[in-house]
Structure 1
Amino acid sequence: MLVNDLVSVQYQIVDATTNEVLDSSARGEGGVLPVLLDTNQSSLFVAALECEPVGSRVVLSLPGSALGEGANNVVVYAQAVEQLPEIATGTPVDPTPGMPTVTLDDDGKPSIKIPEGDAPTETKVAVLTQGDGPTVGSGDLVVVQYLGVKWSDGEEFDSSWSRDAAPAQFQTTGVVAGFQKALEGQKVGSQVIVVMPPSDGYGASEGHELQKESLVFVVDILATTPVQQ
């Protein structure tokens, strides 16, 4: 497995001093949770699983000094069970009239054609591909592929596909309101399109280059994990 692979993992993270289980995949469906091998947010799993074949069982001991001042040593027990798809895998849905048109290349990368007419005055979400996986909840950590363009000229301003097609990972509450509305309540495996006015985009970000722009995103929802309380 390589950095930025998306895999389902069975794991426990244990405090080596107290033997307390700090986190576990047991809270996931079937006892596994999806993990994006992202060096910024999943560095423990990158250290444990990078370059290991799927199915390998790994035990990794980490000194507390690597985790922050005053932290105890930890032991990570992990097994990558399955490599997960990095594009939407659901059933195609008939297009919604009035929404931008989306076409996919052979790798699943989308392109967006903006329709004639005025920009939206309220956020609208349409399902392009209906998945059957877990439902994204508020505050979940999601893994997605996405493309964002401006309604005004169709120009791309952000895209995971433009970064070596590596999926992105973030909490639903850590993105603009329109993007959050597009994610929450949808099922993993779905592809959705969202159009949003500036008020649900960057309208409140004074001086932002997209402050006055209506935005369009196409999003492949690849995985979701409730954030550990």
Structure 2
Amino acid sequence: MSGVFDRALTGAECWIRAGDGTRRALPTRRWLNSSDSADRRADTALTRECDGPTIDLGCGPGRLVATLLRRGVIALGVDISATAVAITRGRGAPALQRDMFGPLPGAGRWSYALLADGNIGIGADPDRLLRRVGELLASDGVAVIEFDRPGSGMVTQRIRVETATSAGPWFSWTRVGVEYAEPLAGAAGFRVRTTVEVAGRHIAWLDRDRTTAAAALA
């Protein structure tokens, strides 16, 4: 996915092409700190509760990590893209080029984990990803996840990133409507505390389900 996707990270006009031929624009301006007030409201909602160590999974150019650091919150970005990590570090924010399913610092001690911009679809296995988030969070940690709009379902597709002149390789991704927040959370040992829609973006806060944890220890 590198190469063409790296151009998206630097603000180039890019699209996602699905295997069925449909195409949608990538929000590259938002990723680089859009001046649009609606984007800012939604990003504020994603981070407003984070008052302790926060890990941003699939951080992209690091706008959320940088925002948290400006507030004095310890934060770390993780992304598989070297370009994303370099841009994040260029903002003065820490980031690691890692597979989020591999070893990561602070596992089991993070207060918050962010999956913004639909990153619940990374790896095309939302259940596995949310369970991984559970491994990274402290027992009272919170997952903050951005889902697709209601009615989107849970659909896995082969997609690729395109520009006007080039296209990247095909890879699998899952789009997850916010109506799937509850069943995914329950299966992974979380409970949905609340969801909110801000400027057309749908965000859920997931707490660890202590009832489930207690039952597992019984």
Give the alignment's TM-score, normalised by structure 2: 0.28
Give the alignment's TM-score, normalised by structure 1: 0.27
Which structure shows the higher strand fraction?
A: 1
Which structure shows the higher helix fraction?
A: 2
Structure of higher CA gyration radius: 1
